[in-house]
Amino acid sequence: MHSMTPPDPLASHTVPATTPDTSSETSAPIAMFRGRPITELPHDLYIPPDALEVILEAFEGPLDLLLYLIRRHNLDILDIPIAEVTVQYMAYIDLMQGLRLDLAAEYLVMAAVLAEIKSRMLLPRPAAAAEPEVDPRAELMRRLQEYERYKEAAAGIDALPRLEREVHPVVVAFPARQVRRPEPVVGLTALGRVYVEVLLAAERYAHHHITREPLSVRERMVLVLGRLAEAPYTAFTQLFTVEEGRRGVVVAFLAILELLRESLIEIVQSEPQGPIYVKAAA
């Protein structure tokens, strides 16, 4: 990309800096240094003639330069005066060579294309031709129109709000709070699920001796209260003796339900689907 402005036919766009004439002083300061105005230049200051160049425009390539020349002179892109545009373009090329800048190859190729189109338009045309001659400028006008559409689309996209340029995300951090979750209520469904697990475990101790053992629900209630007096929190499954078989497990479960109905015990659970504990009522 070359950052230069094509010269105008009447005036040049580059301003070389020369050694200023300090004989005529002005009231306005030349510069500010550490808050103090500088009204005159040092006597031993030397400024080379080509030390300063004013850069007014930046072009992305030869098509960008041609489009700039067409817009600047209010020309019709569908009816380009090749002679005038070629003069402006060649003046820009001469300026870049005079400033000892390296010319890109595409600028030289476009200069050759403009010279070819100009020469073809200057050639005399035969009065009677079998086929109408194609306008030498047609391909160049098509490329310029396509480049103009892409440039306008790129400018429109660049004008859209962009994250971290016009739009900045806002992150609000709240202090962490200790959330105390209420203890879940133990229902009959959870009790039944654990009871089924204990009952299945008791099935493994089934035997074929036909003996009838006297089992009392009231007596088992006393045994449960005695165990709760020794351990304030007892796992629900520890209140069963699986070696007693199905009858013993059923009697123990009925005893626990009876104590719960009489509000002599409480059933608690630390988390959903967690272990169930039994404690004596306060």
Task: Please state the domain extents for the chain.
Answer: 31-122+135-159, 188-280
Walk along the chain (282 residues) and give the pLDDT tens digit of each residue: 444 444 443 333 443 444 445 444 446 777 777 778 888 877 777 666 555 444 445 677 788 888 888 888 788 878 888 888 888 888 887 777 666 556 667 778 888 888 888 888 777 766 665 566 777 788 888 888 898 898 889 888 888 888 888 888 887 777 777 777 777 777 778 888 888 888 888 877 766 555 665 678 888 888 888 888 888 788 888 888 888 888 888 888 888 888 888 888 888 888 877 888 888 887
**CATH match of 188-280 with 1.10.8.590:** no
- Does this model's pTM top 0.75? no
* DSSP states along the chain: -B---PPPSSS-S--------TTS--SS-SEEETTEEE-S--TT----TTS-------BSSHHHHHHHHHHHTT--TTS--HHHHHHHHHHHHHHHHHTTPPPPHHHHHHHHHHHHHHHHHHSPPPSS-SSPPPPTTHHHHHHHHHHHHHHHHHHHHHHS--BTTTB-----PPPP----PPPPPP-HHHHHHHHHHHHHHHHTT-----------HHHHHHHHHHHHHH-SSEEGGGG--GGGHHHHHHHHHHHHHHHHHTTSEEEEESSTTS-EEEEE--
